[in-house]
C-alpha cells in the first residue's frame, strides 16, 4: 500500500481524463480513502455524464461506506452487486435465478447466487449452482480464473460444512486443510477473513479467532457479507474478537461518511 501514493501522483501528472480518474478512484478505495474514491469517480462522471458505469460505481462506493440510501438513489433498481453489498439475499436470489435462465454460463452470477443461498441456509442449492463451475478442482489444480472463483471455493466449503453430514463435513475440512496449507498472497484483510474461515471449519477456533482480528490491519474496508454471513463465522456471534472486528469496520465506515461532505467540497464536486 505504501507504493500507491506515488503511483497516484504519476497518474495525476500524466493523464487528465475520465479513465485515469476511475483508476485513481480504484486505488484510493484500495488505500481505504473511500471518500476520495467517491470524489474522483464524481470527476469521472462529470467528464462522461452519459456513461452509466460511473453511476453504478458511485452506488457501489456509497454502499461500501454504509450509505445505502444514497446508493439506492443512484441505482433505484439495484443489480446483483448492490444487493450483495446490502445483504438483501432474497431479492438477490430472485434476480440471479432469473438472470441464470438467460445466461446460464455466467459464472459470476452463479458465484453471487451461491453465496446468497448459503446466507439463507440453502446449502443444497449452493452445491447445485456450483456443480458446473469446475470447483473445487479448478482451485486445487491451480487453474483459478479470478478472485471471485477463490471466494466461490470458500462458499462451496461453507455449504458442505453447513449441510453437516459426516461425508460433506469431511470434504469441507479437506478443502479447508488445502486452503490453510496453500500459498498466501494479497491483501491482509482478505487473507485474514478466509484463513480464519478455513480454520473455523477445521475446528481450530483459537487460531481462527487470533487470525480474524488481522482484518483490521488492512487499509481496504472488508466486504460485510463475507464476515457477517459466512457459515464458518456463525458460531462466533458472541466472541469478543469477532465483535471487535465488526465494530472497528463500522466505525471506519461511519468516519468516512462523516468526512465525505468536506472531501467533496475540497474537490469541488457534488452528487
For 25-45, the pLDDT digits (tens) are 999 999 999 999 999 999 999
Q: What is the pLDDT of residues 208-245, one digit of tens each?
A: 999 999 999 999 999 899 999 999 999 999 999 999 99
Same domain, 126 and 229: yes
| Model pLDDT, residue 141 | 86
Is residue 82 one of the residues assigned to a domain? no
Total count of domains within the chain: 2
The verdict on residue 54 lying in a domain is yes
Do the domain assignments include residue 249? no
Per-residue pLDDT at 206 exceeds 80: yes
| 170 lies in the same domain as 66 | no
Same domain, 197 and 155: yes
CA distance 147 to 23: 19
Look up the domain containing 110 and give its range: 89-237
Same domain, 13 and 125: no
Answer yes or no: is 113 within a domain.
yes
Where helices occur in the chain by DSSP H, the ranges are 4-14, 18-30, 34-47, 52-64, 68-74, 80-86, 89-102, 107-119, 123-130, 137-140, 147-163, 166-181, 188-201, 205-211, 224-229, 240-267
> What's the rounded mean pLDDT across residues 251-263?
98
Please indicate, yes or no, if residue 246 is contained in any of the structural domains: no
Distance CA 232, CA 141 (A): 24
Percent share of the chain, pLDDT over 70: 94
The pTM for the full model equals 0.92
| pLDDT score, position 263 | 98
pLDDT in tens, 134-166: 999 988 888 888 888 999 999 999 999 999 999
- Asked if 180 and 199 count as a contact pair (C-beta separation under 8 A), the reply is yes
Amino acid at each position: 500500500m505504501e507504493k500507491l501514493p506515488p503511483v497516484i501522483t504519476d497518474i495525476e501528472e500524466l493523464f487528465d481524463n475520465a479513465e485515469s480518474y476511475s483508476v485513481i478512484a480504484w486505488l484510493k478505495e484500495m488505500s481505504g480513502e473511500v471518500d476520495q474514491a467517491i470524489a474522483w469517480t464524481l470527476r469521472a462522471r462529470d467528464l462522461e455524464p452519459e456513461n452509466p458505469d460511473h453511476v453504478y460505481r458511485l452506488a457501489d462506493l456509497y454502499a461500501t461506506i454504509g450509505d445505502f440510501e444514497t446508493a439506492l438513489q443512484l441505482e433505484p433498481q439495484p443489480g446483483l452487486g448492490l444487493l450483495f453489498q446490502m445483504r438483501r439475499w432474497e431479492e438477490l436470489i430472485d434476480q440471479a435465478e432469473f438472470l441464470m435462465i438467460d445466461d446460464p454460463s455466467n459464472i459470476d452470477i452463479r458465484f453471487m447466487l451461491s453465496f446468497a443461498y448459503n446466507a439463507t441456509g440453502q446449502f443444497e442449492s449452493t452445491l447445485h449452482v456450483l456443480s458446473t463451475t469446475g470447483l473445487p478442482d479448478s482451485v486445487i489444480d491451480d487453474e483459478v480464473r479470478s478472485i471471485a472463483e477463490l471466494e466461490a471455493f470458500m462458499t462451496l466449503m461453507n455449504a458442505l460444512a453447513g449441510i453437516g453430514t459426516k461425508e460433506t463435513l469431511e470434504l469441507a475440512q479437506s478443502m479447508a486443510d488445502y486452503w490453510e496449507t496453500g500459498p498466501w498472497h494479497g491483501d491482509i484483510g482478505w487473507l485474514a477473513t478466509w484463513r480464519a474461515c478455513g480454520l473455523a471449519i477445521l475446528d481450530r477456533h483459537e487460531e481462527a479467532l487470533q487470525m480474524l482480528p488481522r482484518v483490521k490491519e488492512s487499509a481496504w474496508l472488508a466486504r460485510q457479507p463475507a464476515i457477517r454471513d459466512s457459515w464458518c463465522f456463525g458460531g462466533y456471534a458472541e466472541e469478543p474478537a469477532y465483535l471487535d472486528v465488526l465494530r472497528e469496520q463500522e466505525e471506519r465506515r461511519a468516519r468516512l461518511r462523516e468526512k465525505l461532505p468536506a472531501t467533496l467540497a475540497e474537490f469541488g464536486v457534488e452528487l
